[in-house]
Structure 1
Amino acid sequence: MSNSILEEIARLGVRSQCATDKGGAAFARLLQIAETGNTSQARRVAAFVASTFNGRRFPFDPFELRAVDAEISDDMLCCLDALRWAQADLYSLVPDGHSRVRAVIQRWGLASRSAS
């Protein structure tokens, strides 16, 4: 392989790792909002968190990005970038993420909504 190809692979690897790191931190903040909030923004965050867990079962309308504060939508976009690089499931980047996301889905009644 030529040096330019190896350099590009290395550059993309760094970019992927950076997106994953930022996405993990953003996901932790969003998960905290979904776990503790009680506003319409928290409900939207919970729906987003659920969609990153299982997008087919919990679809998320991207226009919801307009209905939350800029900091929250920035975190959502970081999560989407991390998902694009597909190094890890976002819930696996936070302590006890799997059970915490499942608890958020239950707390906000998202499981029953997705069945309809």
Structure 2
Amino acid sequence: MNSEIEIYQINKVVPKLSKWFNNEKLICSQILINYLNLEEKVGDVNYYDLANKCKNLKTFKTNFAQMKNLGEKNHGKIFEVNKDKIQLWKPIEKDIYREFTKYKKSKGYNN
């Protein structure tokens, strides 16, 4: 099952997700939304494509690092990175897709 630190991260991130999708000005929101849009378009997302999509964010590298690591002072773990391939962190993947679906509906996108 999940370790104590993983449970802490899940409880930290899940309540933030709706806020992130409702406030696109947040850097973590932009990174996550860009990732999800890329994933819908191309399937597998690699680090370089996401970094390119987020090139307008001066602090992309440091913010992305906080979104892929377990830690007390991070934004919350969102991503899992294997070599250059980025995936959503499995314990919160369904929560992210649920909030992304709500976000797209609020923006008038069709599924």
Question: If the length of structure 2 is used for normalisation, what is the TM-score?
Answer: 0.42
Structure ranking higher in helix proportion? 1
Structure ranking higher in strand proportion? 2
Q: Based on CA coordinates, which of the two structures has the bigger radius of gyration? A: 1
